[in-house]
Amino acid sequence: MSTRPPRRTPLSRASVLEAALRVIDERGLDACTMRAVAASLGVEAMSLYHHIEGKDALLDGVVELVLAELEPASDGSGWREGLAGFAHRYRDLLRRHPNVVPLLASRPAVGYAAAARVAAPGLASLEAAGFDRRTAIRAARTITRYVVGFALAESAGPPAAPPEARDGRDPAIAALLEALASDSPDELFAFGLDTLLDGLAARLSRSQGASAPPAPPA
Amino acid sequence: MSTRPPRRTPLSRASVLEAALRVIDERGLDACTMRAVAASLGVEAMSLYHHIEGKDALLDGVVELVLAELEPASDGSGWREGLAGFAHRYRDLLRRHPNVVPLLASRPAVGYAAAARVAAPGLASLEAAGFDRRTAIRAARTITRYVVGFALAESAGPPAAPPEARDGRDPAIAALLEALASDSPDELFAFGLDTLLDGLAARLSRSQGASAPPAPPA
DNA sequence: ACCTGAACACCGTTCAAGT
DNA sequence: ACCTGAACACCGTTCAAGT
């Protein structure tokens, strides 16, 4: 009778990682078992081990795969626009893969290396604007951590109401949670990002004011 | 012969959660199995189910337990000191429980509700300083997300060097990773926090400048 | 009421065997 | 070289039984 359709393309590390990402995106992190990934490829679980060292390497690879989609910060425009654009692209990427975000938390940070690589051109524009190298690196890292922290809170979903709010014992808490829920995530993200960029701008003008020698008396 | 020593105190939800947190702190998240937590209490795995609904509820409870240690933002001093103190206490707390940090990412956000509760007094000092309520809430949330993002990166450990850096093919990347590794985490944290607070201060003086009506002509 | 032993349906992974 | 079936040591959880 009918035999299982032959796989048209042989398995590869890349195809295994793509299948795993697909499973995570569609059915969640818990559903991403070796058996499920294999089944989605029409193959037995043990076949995966010829292309990937094990479950840990699989999840590391998924993080790598997602971060490979991240476009580098452009070095064309000003430092502020470059950083803002990078932050938005990074957040959008993580929003497209919310189930992957928790992996950023627990995986050895292969991802941060990729982020560093991708941010490198942005560093150039920060230095061109007058930030010293160490400050430029710190600025980029701060932005990155803010974005990841934001995406994390976003992917975890809205806070559960604690008992004090649920039973009306503490209306102030209930009002606060209501205010939290009604604020737009996009606006909140832009608020925090603008705050960071304003802070960097303030630091820049401070350092330039200090380093620019006062006009010498004539 | 000797029987198993009788448990002096009966099991309770609290004692189960404390045992789970101890296992996570000492042996990592993966080691926190129902069987291991039970064993650490001198009990069988199934006994836990009389006090906790299941594994998910156990991990939710651990997050709750950790965040219960967080001291509220003080409302005594100025907004800037209050926020900075809160941020440092939050980061220190997460550093004491690095293995718990990934749970903040994947758990339904019972934690964020607790953080909101604890930040409430800080909101009062922000409003006293002249921030409107919505801005005060956004400021507090931004700080919180930055702290969590920072703790996340910190608990994930230093970035692994990508191949381009390892084999010397790209010395610029290698130098960048070297710079990342040599910067002090404490200074980096303070840098980002100061940047956020500077940004908030700038926003405050902008809004006060705008809202203070010009002295009316006499 | 609280704890337990055996059992079930899973999981990641090893290994010897197939082609 | 690549894939597989059976097996192993685990896991969370159910259930009937003990005290």
Reference A188, options B91, B136, B203; nearest CA is: B136
CA distance linking residue B168 with residue A106, whole number of Å? 28
Residue of chain A with shortest Cα separation from B171: A117
DSSP type of residue B162? P
CB of A155 less than 8 A from some CB of B: yes
Tell me what pLDDT residue B6 has.
Answer: 45
Stated pTM of the model: 0.89
CB contact (8 A) between residue B146 and residue A142: yes
Query: pLDDT digits over A85-118, tens only?
Result: 999 999 999 999 999 999 987 776 665 556 666 7
* A71's tokens: 């476009």
Reference B200, options B112, B103, B89, B122; nearest CA is: B122
Question: Which amino acid type is present at position A157?
Answer: G
H/E stretch holding A189 reads helix A185-211
- pLDDT(B65) > 50: yes
* Closest residue to B114, CB basis, from A120, A142, A162: A162
Establish whether the CB of B14 is closer than 7 Å to any nucleic acid atom in strand C.
no
Query: pLDDT digits over B176-191, tens only?
Result: 778 888 899 999 999 9
Is residue A30 helix, strand or coil?
A: coil
Nucleotide at minimal C1' distance from the A48 CA: D3
Lowest-confidence range among A177-186, A191-200, B200-209? A177-186
CA dihedral (B206, A208, A210, A194) positive or negative: positive
CA distance linking residue A66 with residue B118, whole number of Å? 35
C11 nearest neighbour residue (CA to C1'): A33
| Contacts with B149 from chain A: Cβ below 8 Å | 145-150, 152
- pLDDT(A3) > 60: no
Nucleotide at minimal C1' distance from the B33 CA: D11
Contacts of A90 (CB under 8 A, 6+ apart): A70, A115, A144, A147, A151
Residues A156, B104: contact at Cβ < 8 Å?
A: yes
Output the DSSP codes for B22-80: HHHHHH-STT--HHHHHHHTTS-GGGGGGTSS-HHHHHHHHHHHHHTTPPPPPSSS-HH
- pLDDT(B168) > 60: yes
Is residue A103 helix, strand or coil?
A: helix
Least Cα separation, residue B3 to chain A (angstroms): 40
CB contact (8 A) between residue B146 and residue A183: no
Contacts of A12 (CB under 8 A, 6+ apart): A51
Query: pLDDT digits over A121-148, tens only?
Result: 788 889 999 999 999 999 999 999 999 9
Most confident of A60-74, A164-178, B86-100, B151-165: B86-100
List of long-range contacts for B66-70, beta carbons under 8 Å, 24+ apart: B66/B21, B66/B93, B66/B97, B66/B100, B67/B93, B67/B111, B67/B114, B67/B115, B67/B118, B68/B114, B69/B93, B70/B114, B70/B115, B70/B118
Mean pLDDT (chain A) is 85
Tell me what pLDDT residue B57 has.
Answer: 94
- pLDDT(B11) > 70: yes
CA distance linking residue A39 with residue A213, whole number of Å? 69
CA dihedral (B170, B174, B179, B181) positive or negative: positive
Q: Strand D: list positions under 7 Å from protein Cβ.
A: 2-6, 10-16
Distance in angstroms, CA of A65 to C1' of C19?
33
Give the angle B39-B45-B47 at the CA atoms, nearest 5°. Answer: 110
Establish whether the CB of A35 is closer than 7 Å to any nucleic acid atom in strand D.
no
Strands (E), chain B: none
Mean pLDDT in residue range B148-160: 84
Comparing B96 with B169, which gets the higher pLDDT?
B96
Establish whether the CB of A34 is closer than 7 Å to any nucleic acid atom in strand C.
yes
Establish whether the CB of B27 is closer than 7 Å to any nucleic acid atom in strand D.
no
| Contacts with B153 from chain A: Cβ below 8 Å | 109, 112, 144-145, 148
CB of B182 less than 8 A from some CB of A: no
| Confidence class for position B4, pLDDT limits 50, 70, 90 | very low
Establish whether the CB of B34 is closer than 7 Å to any nucleic acid atom in strand D.
yes
Query: pLDDT digits over A22-61, tens only?
Result: 999 999 999 999 999 999 999 999 999 999 999 999 999 9
Establish whether the CB of A36 is closer than 7 Å to any nucleic acid atom in strand C.
yes
